[in-house]
Every structure is written in structure tokens, then in C-alpha cells.
A and B are shown apart, each in its own frame.
Chain A
Amino acid sequence: MSLLDVHDLSVRFDTDDGTVHAVDGLSFSLEEREVLGVVGESGCGKSVSAMSLLQLLPETAHVTGSAQFDGLDLLAAPTSKLRDIRGRKIAFVFQEPMTSLNPSFRIGNQLSEVLQRHLGLGRTAARKRAIELLDLVRIPAPERRIQEYPHQLSGGMRQRVMIAIALACDPKILIADEPTTALDVTIQAGILDLMRDIRERLGTAIVLITHNLGVVADIADRVIVMYAGRKVEEAPVRELYAHPQHPYTIGLLGAIPRPGAADEQGRLREIPGRVPSLAELPAACAFAPRCPRADEQTRSQRPELAEVRPAHLVACFHPGRNGDRA
């Protein structure tokens, strides 16, 4: 059995402009020690689906489906039960390291808070563990750092502290929502390196949410590509890079800046058009307006997920790189 089994997860927001389908029928599973990459553009529903797992969405969100974890359906669990899971068994790292720490308290204090709450540690024990954790996330001079306030740390340092807080209780799952987006490239590499190390040493399963396929290639075992609230492709990471099937994935891969990626005019390839509004979900492939392969069928029916190669799912009527069909 998988560590986490999400089945048919849908999230709707009722807004003044009508209903927004942020996530539509998403299913996935996460194995022990696995790093799962979730990739997609802004607004494709990747953060919303992650937040919904711990019921962190505002009350305007309507969540349906199920998420089995540890014999419990996370989506239906009462808040009191969830509090024991949040930060204890499933921990979150958010995108904004600059503002995710309370400016009024010392670093050590904020780490101890979680330790005291979930593990019932005393002050001295919590302090000792806080230093160990900062050491684990490779912050130099941890016994001095725990005395400092967030404003004295750089963005990369703060993200390390956030990861330390997330790891404080040795969670089963670490959900990292764009953990490197706000950081510059050299720092990003350090954070990714750290996450890889965490998986190796602690065996924590990681869900890594990002819009950057390069980041995913670096660290993930398996990748889910999302578009307009739906999963459009899922494959082991090597398979995905070697044989991308969905035109959207192919477009994303083409848009990674690297030597040779530019076209004849020396421009980076891009995917034309914009992400569709999630308010109107037509009975068609959501990617059709931007897709070079779109035809009558694409515009009138919605493709379902199908296994086109071993362990490789795609929702597309015309999958495959030109001529590289399974």
C-alpha cells in the first residue's frame, strides 16, 4: 500500500464571478522514500491540491475526493485529528522564506515551538534538538543562529530554517511548495541538494511542487504534470524526459533554457497562449487552444488518462513526440 493515496481530488472555489475549478479529478499516490515532482504553470492547481491535503485552504474552498494516509482520510478528518498530523507526520515548506518566520521571535524559539508541541520536549531538550536540526540543514554555527531573529538571516538561510522546522518531528511526508522559487540559483542548488540528502538520510517522502522541470529532473523519482487543474501526464522521471508524450510537457521541456534550446532566431522556445480561465471548463482538452496538434476531436471531447508506455500515463488524443509513439 502506498504511503499516501489521493483519489479523485477536486477543489472548487465559489467566487463572485462564479465557480472556479482549481483542481479537477486528481489522483496520485506517493510511496515511502519517494520524491514526487508536481509540475505546472502558475494557477494549474498544484499548490491548491497540496494545501487541500492538510485542509489548509480557506473556507470558500469545496474539496471532494479522498486522501488515504495512515488509515485516515485526510480530506474528511476533523481538525483536531489533523493538528496531530500537520507538522508531525506531514510537514509543509512554503515558497516565501522571507515572510514565513515570525519576526518577533528568535529562530531557536520557533523551532522549539514545534518540538514542544508535537514531541512534548522540555525547554532544554528542545533547544538541544533545535541546534541539531539547524546542523542537519547545514546552517553554520547553529548554537549562535538559534539566538538570532529572522531579519538577520538571508533568504536561503531562512528557507533552511523552514525546512528544519518542517523536519523537526521527523515527518513521513515533506510537501515543499516551490521551495526554491524565491531564491537565487546558487542557493536553489544548495536547497535541492539538502532535500536529496534528507531523503537519503531520513527516508522522508517528498512532494516537490515546482514550475521548473529542471529542478524536478535533478531530484524527483516520478513526475506529475498538471494543466488547468488536471493531471495530463505522469511518468518516472527518466521516462518523462526521454519520451515526453503530452504536447504541453514537450513544450515545457523545450522551454528550459540550456545550450541548443534556442530556435533559429536565437529565441527560447515558448508555449504560445495563456493558461485558460478555470471558471469555464469546456468539454474539450483544456490545452487545445495552445496545442499545435489540436483538431476536431480535441475541441469536442476531453481526453482521459491512458497508459501509453509502461508506467507512463498521458491524457492526450495525439500523444508522443513526432514519430516516437509507444
Chain B
Amino acid sequence: MSYVDTTPVAVNPRARRRRLLRKRFLRRPLAVLGLAVALLFILVAIFAPWIAPYSASETDFNATLAPPFTEGHILGTDELGRDMLSRLIWGSRASIQAGVLATALAILIAVPIGIAAGYYRGWIDPVIARLTDVLLAFPFLILAVGLAAILGPSLTNATIAIGLGAVPGLIRVARGEALGLREEDYVRAAVANGASDVAILGRHVVPNMSSTLIVQATVLIPAAIIGEAVLSFLGLGVQPPTPSWGVMLSDAQSYVSQAPRLAIFPGLAIFFCSLSFNLLGDGLRDVLDPRTTR
């Protein structure tokens, strides 16, 4: 606009808040590490075709079960002579895709339902609350496995199953937030000023629950990554020969005694990938919590 702030500090509040949050975040080495590793995994997944030295499904029967560092196979090859490193790199795509999309799906479904229950109350609230209680009685993975079994095996269906599996827990979070926010004075003031429900939800309720949702998302992503690995391991997710860490683990079962690295490498990939998102989520939760003072 037409005027420019000349005072250097404390004038642009959003920038100041961002700077403060960044400072708080940078003071947590584990969170920074988590962010770095998570970003690395995401970049690897995006640029897999350019990074991977070999195709993921190209077999070489002259070099099956090659140990690491043989003939350009840095991590060796599997029982069909496929390059381990390339399969790990290609496999990250399934994990990241399942992690991110399943979480997005869960949020898209759960938040409107949770808000409907928490903000509008009425008869719909106890109905939704009890239903989520019932669904929460099933462990997340059991729910996902059941759904994947119904939907049929594929990465898309596994993603949907994991996303739906995470919905009940998220509904509860969104409902709780909405319950609290509807009692806020600024929501009351907005009603008194003639705001419609859409305006109140869009401007007052959803924006003020976003930091909670961001934290929930970073907690859900690693859970979904593990979920994808589990479903693929059980044959309910990614179908061979498409690589996925879960599929690789499953394939490695018969060779565990001969070549344990076939199981160890994808296992480590799952471990580090989900750990990085977990650390990031922990860090964000600390930083975004207004009660944090450090």
C-alpha cells in the first residue's frame, strides 16, 4: 500500500511472530534434524527418477544377492539382482505419498465432521462423539488393515484405508477445538455483528485451530508411513514389482538368514523416515504451543 513502515523492529507483527517461532524452532536441535531428514526424504521421493542409479525393477540374474559395494551396487542387490539403493529410492515414493495424502484425506474428512459436532452441538454432537468412541476402540492399524482388505490391494486403496483409519482420532481433536472456540468472546462478538455461520467457521474457528491441526498432521504422517509399510508387507498395499519399503521387507523374509541386509535396509528407511517426521512434529508442537516460553 501507499505507506511504508520505517521503524525496523516490532512493526510488522506477522514477520515478528514468524521470526520468534523460527528462533524457538532453531533452538531445538532434534526438531531441526527431523525437519532436515524429512525434507531429504521428500526430495528423494520427488527426484527418484534422476537420483536412482538403476531402474527399480531391472533384474540382473548374474548378480543376485550381491553384497554391498559390488559392481556399482552401493547397497548390493536383492534376490532377483535388483539394485537395493534404487529400490529404496523408488520405494520412498510410496511411503511419502501414503504419508502425505492419507493425512490430507483424514484432515479433509475429519475436520468438517468434528466442527459440525463441536460447533453446532445439537443432536449431531453426541451421535458423532459416540461413533468416534466406538471406532477408536479399534487400533488404528487394525482399522486400516480391515478397510484395505475391503477396498482391495493397491497403493491408492492403502492410502485411502490409512486416511480413513485416522479419521476418528482427528474428529475428536477437531471437535474439542471447535467446542472451545465456539465459546470464545470473538466468536460471540462475530455473531452479534451479524456474521453468517460460514463466515464464523471460515474466519474465526478454522484459522484458530490451524496450529493444532498442523501438529496433528506431523504426528499422522509417520503413522501413515508405517501404516503403508505394514499394508504393503501384508500384500494389501503396493503390489510387486513396484517397490515399496513394505514390499521389500516382505520379499526379504525368505532370505533373512542368508542376507539380513535385505530386511535391514528398508527397515532402517522406515525407521528414519517416520522418526524424522515425529521429531518435526514434537518440535512444532512445542513451538506453536502458546504456553511455551523458551
Contacts and interface: CB of A to CB of B under 8 A. Distances in A.
A154 to B, nearest CB: 15
Given A113-B203, A149-B13, A152-B13, A102 B186 contact: yes
Given A86-B193, A91-B193, A96 B208 contact: no
A83 B199 CA distance: 12
A56 B5 contact: no
B40 to A, nearest CB: 32
A143 B12 CA distance: 13
A83 B194 contact: yes
Contacts of A91: 192-193
A274 interface: no
B14 to A, nearest CB: 8
A94 B189 contact: yes
Contacts of B72: none
A54 B192 contact: yes
B194 to A, nearest CB: 4
Contact of A103 (B191, B193, B208): B208
Q: How large is the interface on A (under 10, 10 to 19, 20 to 34, 35 or more residues)?
A: 20 to 34
B59 to A, nearest CB: 55
Given A102-B203, A102-B204, A104-B207, A113 B195 contact: yes
A99 B186 CA distance: 6
Nearest to B17: A149
Contacts of A84: 194
Nearest to B12: A147
A148 interface: yes
A68 to B, nearest CB: 20
Nearest to A109: B203
Interface string B170-212: 0000000000000011101111111110010001100110000
Interface in A134-163: 143-144, 147-149, 152, 162
B189 A86 contact: no
A94 B208 contact: no
A139 to B, nearest CB: 16
Interface string A96-116: 100111111110000001100
B235 to A, nearest CB: 46
Contacts of A100: 185-186, 188-189
B191 A56 contact: yes
A100 B208 CA distance: 14
A105 B195 CA distance: 15
Q: A84, A87, A96 — which one has the most chain B CB atoms within 10 A of its CB?
A: A87
Given A105-B203, A113-B199, A143-B3, A118 B186 contact: no
Q: B188, B190, B192 — which one has the most chain A CB atoms within 10 A of its CB?
A: B192
Nearest to A92: B192
Nearest to B196: A83
Interface in A41-82: 54, 56, 82
B5 A144 contact: yes
11 contacts: A82-B194, A83-B194, A83-B195, A86-B193, A87-B195, A88-B194, A92-B192, A96-B185, A105-B207, A106-B13, A147-B5
Closest 6 CB pairs of A and B: A87-B193, A86-B194, A87-B194, A92-B192, A99-B185, A100-B185
